[in-house]
Amino acid sequence: MPSFDVVSKVQMHEVANAVQQAAKEVGTRFDFRGTGTSVEQSAEGIVLRSGSEGRLDAAREVLKEKLVRRKLSLKSFDEQKIEPAASSSYRQLIKIEQGISTEKAKAIVKFLKGTGMKVQGAIQQEQVRVTGKKRDDLQAAIAALREEDFGVELQFENFRD
C-alpha cells in the first residue's frame, strides 16, 4: 500500500552556518561596536546577548535574515522572552523545534479525515504516516497539506509506491 511520512525537520548544519554568519556580521557592523552583542548556538537553541534591548532586537533581525537566506522556515524557531542578565545586559533564547508535536499531529490527521480523500493518517512518534490505495490520492493529500497552515514547517519524505 503506498504511503509517505509528514515530518518537520530542521537542517542543523544550515542553522549552524546561519548563526556563524550572523555572529560575524554582528561582530563587524559599526552599530554593534561596544554593545557586547553576541549570537551563539548552545544545547538549548540559539542565544542572543546584548547590552540593550534595542541592539538585541537588531541582532535578532540579522539572525532571521540569515536563517531565511539559508531557506530555513522561521516557524521552526520559538523566540522566548527577553530576560535581564548579569551586569545590566539582556539575553534571549530562541529554541529550535524539531518534529511534530502530538497536538499538531492530531490536527493533521483530523484535517486529512475532513478532506474526504481516501487516505489515512497515523501518528508515529514525531511524524505522521499517510497511507492510501492510490498514488494519486497521496499526491492530492500532499497538495492539500501544503495549502493548510499548521504552524510548523512540513516536509514530505519516504514516499513508497
- Angle of helix 53-69 relative to helix 12-28, nearest 10 degrees, comes to 130
pTM here? 0.83
pLDDT digits (tens, 9 = 90+) for 46-77: 999 998 888 999 999 999 999 999 999 999 99
pLDDT of 34 reads 85
- The CATH number for 3-8+100-160, chosen from 3.40.109.10, 3.30.300.30, 3.10.20.30, 3.30.70.860, is 3.30.70.860
pLDDT of 116 reads 87
The band of 109, judged by pLDDT with boundaries at 50, 70 and 90, is very high
Give the domain ranges of the chain: 3-8+100-160, 12-96
pLDDT digits (tens, 9 = 90+) for 113-143: 988 889 999 999 889 999 999 999 999 999 9
Task: Name which CATH class applies to 12-96.
Answer: alpha beta
Looking at every residue in the chain, the average pLDDT score rounds to 91
